[in-house]
Amino acid sequence: MSKRDFITLANLKEKDFQEIFRLSREIKKRRKRGEKIIPLLRGKFMGMIFEKPSTRTRVSFQVAIEELGGTAIYLSGKEMQLGRGETIADTARVLSRYLDLILIRTFGQERVEEMAEYATVPVINGLTDLLHPCQIISDLFTILEKRGTYQNLKIAYLGDGNNVCHSWIIASTILGLDLHIATPPSYSPHVEELKRRGLLGEKKNFHLYEEPEKAIENAHIIYTDVWVSMGQKDEEERKKVFPPYQVNSQILSLASPDCLVMHCLPAHRGEEITEEVIDGGKSIVWDQAENRLHVQKGIILWVMGMEEAV
């Protein structure tokens, strides 16, 4: 089997999504039943390079590989030679001699791509400024659990056209999702950049709006994210233009009566989402967060080519 990386959802076919979902579902079932998971990755080591802070990605991946019998090694960008000028390529070459798998959470998408190019072991994108593929494949898994399908559902995304939004767009072109995105005019997703990088398929299943009401009308899934992502310096300006895109009770009244609310976290309560919504009966935010653990296992097993073992 040739080396598998998990760099962007654009590299996956629909059957790959389905296989990762199957692995995640089976592993989750075993964990919920209290069964001891077979240590499929005993003796395997995963290096976790974090140049950006993290809660969910770090904890879920570390627990995931250790529950599968492997060992996680946390590598802070500041503590590595990367922080002192060593190239990504050289780091990839060296770590490939020590490790069986590399996870990297960083700034530029090109850093992940270079790591994958020079590493001889699988590389997983834990987040970049452009993309967050682990988040969206986990979110789709959660929608499947709650609704049985992601087809014929209107998915509305309100807020910043950021890395999460970009990965939703990519998924929509592969899976044929009915995706509706509302952002302030100056904060729309960078669709042309995605096209330039060859990350979009031929199907255009996403729709862009400035008015949140158009995106949210009769939506089955409402999704939001923080207004200010890590490293962005225009916080005060954003707080002036984003309030109309807040997910609150009023905006939910325009959606389908059985709509579900999602947020990839961390949440800034009272900004992009209200307290009553995130803690309300339509919220599946905590199930969504839990599923990061199960789907990270599915991703790890998939890149390691271990589908037949589960």
Active-site residues, by number, are 105, 132, 135, 225, 264, 292
Neighbour count for residue 97 (Cβ, 10 Å): 8
With contact defined as beta carbons under 8 Å apart, do 65 and 39 qualify? no
Q: Looking up tokens 């590299």, which residue turns up?
A: 11
With contact defined as beta carbons under 8 Å apart, do 222 and 195 qualify? no
Calculate the alpha carbon distances from 184 to 170, 188, 235, 244 in Å.
20, 7, 14, 9
In the chain the beta strands, taken as DSSP E runs, fall at 45-50, 71-76, 101-105, 123-127, 154-158, 178-182, 206-209, 221-224, 260-263
Which residues, including other chains, have CB under 8 Å from residue 218's CB and lie 6 or more apart?
Answer: 154, 254, 255, 256
Q: What b/e readout covers 155-170, taking b as 16+ CB neighbours within 10 angstroms?
A: bbbbbbbbbbbbbbbb
